[in-house]
Amino acid sequence: MSRTTLQVPTGVRAPGWRSDLGLHAALGRLEAIDEGWRCELPSVPDNPFGNVLVLRGAPDTRSPEAVIALFEDLFRGTRVSHVCIGWDDPTADVLSLAPFVDQGFEAIDDVALALEGTDLAARTPDVGGLRLRRLDLDLETDGVLACELAVDEGRTSPYGRVAVRENLAWCRALLALGPPLGAWYGAELDGTLVATLGIVSVGGEGRLQSVGTRPALRNRGIGRALIAWAWRDAAARLDLDRLLLVTSRGGAGERFYRRMGFAAVGRNIGVLRSR
């Protein structure tokens, strides 16, 4: 099977940032600049990681004032709602972000996790009658949206209904770009979607996206079963042997994925605040 994949920018060392830039540039605008990379996703201005400035070097090489001024100059005239800045520095320490935190930024301290091969540790779901299947986002938008909105309401920091709707529309457009680049998957119980996720080929790797289970059905093995089934399907269809994701370092998500066999391959260090 010939491999079709989204292209990633050259020169980016952090696997997570490299995958993020390739993923969002497909329907956005990616520009290499002297200081690093500027990515804009006009269709989803509320997505901070699609509208981001990734800088070369360590966070302490420039003052917060200089970095903020550069971001505002590069994103002048856009509808981007956040200031999101990352550093492509494998040795960066989150403590070096303190000057930005003092100015009202939230520190981004994420870990890139990868799974080699398709052998995932997933127990049998503690739910009878569960159906795992590939979804058609064009025909099943309402069901997928209802599930993702329910998942979002159960988060500690919800993205918001508008952001969830915009992101799903972007995902539909991404999958419609041409030859199969990926697919969306769902777990269905009694005719209702209870968990969804996406896998997209980025830079020759599978990129796990938008994983979520309805709050009332969490901790019953549904998410693990869906990830395992979807990854085996996507790996075979897209000729992939590595699955990558980005999640908060040290959080419940990292522990969840490590139990499935994922291992750390890099970090995404950055800062975020509203404009």
Q: What's the pLDDT tens digit per position in 260-275?
A: 999 999 999 999 999 9
Q: How far apart are CA 250 and CA 270, in angstroms?
A: 16
Q: How far apart are CA 105 and CA 88, in angstroms?
A: 18
Domain-located, residue 253: no
Name the strand (E) or helix (H) holding 271: strand 263-274
pLDDT of residue 127: 81
What is the extent of the structural domain holding 32? Answer: 15-110
Domain-located, residue 260: no
Instruction: Tell me the whole-structure pTM to 2 decimals.
Output: 0.94
The reply to whether 200 and 93 lie within a common domain is no
Q: Quick: pLDDT tens for 11-69.
A: 999 999 999 999 999 999 999 999 999 999 999 999 999 999 999 999 999 999 999 99
pLDDT of residue 1: 36
Burial of 2 (0-12, 13-18, 19+ CB in 10 A): exposed
Quick one: tokens of 122?
A: 């997933």
Domain-located, residue 64: yes
The reply to whether 123 and 227 lie within a common domain is yes
What are the Cα distances from residue 52, in Å, to 79, 126, 151, 275? 13, 40, 25, 13
Please say whether the beta carbons of 262 and 245 come within 8 A. Answer: yes
The reply to whether 27 and 136 lie within a common domain is no
Domain-located, residue 66: yes
The reply to whether 104 and 122 lie within a common domain is no
84 forms bridges with which residues in the sheet?
Answer: 272
Q: Pick from 88, 110, 132: which residue ends a domain?
A: 110
Name the strand (E) or helix (H) holding 149: helix 141-153
Of 193, 16, 29, 187, the closest CA to residue 90 belongs to 16
Number of Cα atoms under 13 Å in the Cβ half of residue 1 = 14
User: How many separate domains does the chain show?
Assistant: 2
Quick one: tokens of 163?
A: 């952001």
pLDDT of residue 163: 85
Q: How far apart are CA 271 and CA 269, in angstroms?
A: 7
